[in-house]
Each structure stands twice: as structure tokens, then as C-alpha cells.
Amino acid sequence: MTDTLREQLTELLDEAELEWLKPHIQKDAVIIVVPELDLLDVGVAISSDNTQSIQHWISEQLLVKPSQEILNRWNTNPSQRFQALIIQPYILVKEFV
């Protein structure tokens, strides 16, 4: 089942521009995934309700909400692009480095 879910999420993986994310940031629905984690792994964990992995990543600050500092940095580069995955009600994003 996880492989099928991963395949489904792979089809939903896309790029997003900061401007597109702004309304979702205002709704507190954006979660940043650090570069060390695979966006699809996180999506699979959230979709399959793997609370142990999710809680571990949150406690290690591998999944975070955008802080004001991060938002300020993003706003200085309006052409910033992200790898994005929608897992209702969240949008997981990973900065392109």
C-alpha cells in the first residue's frame, strides 16, 4: 500500500512559486521540510498517519512552520521556487537550493 501511496503522491509533486503559497502561509497551512528529508517520505508518513515519524521530525525541527525570519528571507527573493506537495490540509514545501 505504501508503494501505491508513494506513486500517487509522486504524481502530485510539483513546483510552486512564493506568490502561490502566500494565501496558504496566511492560513498557517505551509510546512517546511528540511533538505535532509525526502518530501515524498514525509507525505507518505502524513497520509498514512505515521505519528511516530511525524512527531520525531517535529521534535528535531525537521518539519517547521515558516518563521517571520524565513518569511522575510523569502520575501527578499520573490522568484523563490519550492518543491511542493499538497497533503490536505497542509502544503509541504522544500526550498530549492
pLDDT in tens, 76-96: 987 889 999 999 999 999 998
Instruction: Note the pTM of the prediction, 2 decimals.
Output: 0.91
Q: Cell 515558516 belongs to which residue?
A: 66
All cell numbers assigned to 75: 520575501
Can you tell me the mean pLDDT for 13-20?
94
CA distance readout (Å), 50 to 47, 60, 65, 96: 8, 16, 19, 26
Q: By CB neighbour count within 10 A (0-12 exposed, 13-18 middle, 19+ buried), where does 85 fall?
A: buried
